[in-house]
Each structure stands twice: as C-alpha cells, then as structure tokens.
Amino acid sequence: MATKEDVDFDSKPIDDNVLTDEKNYPVTGEEDGLKVRAGGMQRLDNSNKPYPTKLGIHGTTVAVDWDGCIADGSCMDVCPVSLFEWKLNPGNSGTGNDKKVEKGTPEYDQYRTDKTNPVRESECIFCMACVTACPVTAIKVTSA
C-alpha cells in the first residue's frame, strides 16, 4: 500500500468522460478480459506533469485509471462482491496485499505500484462504495 506522498506523481481524479471521449480515451486494447482505454498514451497528472506510466484506464462498467491508482486497496476492502484483484498479485485482494514494487526495476518503470484490476466487473451491483473509498478518486462506475 502506498500513500500520495510515496509516489512521484500527483494523481488526477479519473475523467468523468472516460467512456464517451473517444479522442482522448480510445479503446487501445484488452487485458485480463477488460477493455483498456488510452493505453500507451501520455497523459498529465493533477500538477500538469506527464504521468510516469502509460497504463491507461482498465475496465468499462468499473473503470480504473491505472496511472492514478496508488495501490491504496480500500476499493477492494469495501466491495461487497469482491470483484477486484491485484494486477501484480493475481488472485489476491485487499489493503496491504499488493505486490511491493521495488524502485529501479523494470516493473517500477512500467507500473510504479501495484494496480487494482476489476476482473469481475460484470458482477458490480453499483453500490459505489469503491468510488467513495478511493483516496485519489481513480475509479468511475457506470451503470448501463
């Protein structure tokens, strides 16, 4: 688990238009059965500095901005249907169970911290607990 002070970027809340703004958030691929938007694209953080990662937005119904996610883990603790898993510690979830990413490794260059992966997003019951819990507002949930 990291805090805002531990990371070298200033997380920007996930864009409200992430599903509709196809210019800035085109679908760029798929990973773990989830759509990825703006993967590989340089975006700016809350201080208007380039994010150090280009991971993009993972998931659609439950969309997580992986460039802003700091591995807090609260989203997992509060989700009543346990639909999240850690990307780098698959099959595991919850605060403190993220894989620690060491500085100076290729994994650090790519991810900075572990990321929450909404692998079972189709099971969402739209309680919005994760949206409220995330300290950096990295999650946007959209009911169909």
Piece of 17-25, 50-58, 80-88, 101-109 that binds ligand F3S (CB under 6 A): 80-88
Q: Does 139 bind ligand F3S (CB under 6 A)?
A: yes
Pull the structure tokens for residue 18. Answer: 């992430």
What distance in Å separates the CA atoms of residue 11 and residue 52, rounded to the nearest whole number?
A: 11
> Taking the complex as a whole, how short is the minimal distance between the CB of residue 119 and ligand F3S, in angstroms?
11
Question: According to CB under 6 A, which one of 71, 88, 101, 119 is a site residue for ligand F3S?
Answer: 71
Sign of CA dihedral 79, 80, 83, 89: positive
What distance in Å separates the CA atoms of residue 57 and residue 36, rounded to the nearest whole number?
A: 5
> Taking the complex as a whole, how short is the minimal distance between the CB of residue 135 and ligand F3S, in angstroms?
6
Question: According to CB under 6 A, which one of 18, 38, 101, 136 is a site residue for ligand F3S?
Answer: 136
Task: Give the x/- contact pattern for ligand F3S in 38-67, rule: CB under 6 A.
Answer: ------------------------x-x---
Question: According to CB under 6 A, which one of 15, 67, 72, 85 is a site residue for ligand F3S?
Answer: 72
Given the rule CB under 6 A, which residues bind ligand F3S?
Answer: 62, 64, 69-75, 78-81, 83, 116, 124-130, 133-134, 136, 138-139, 141
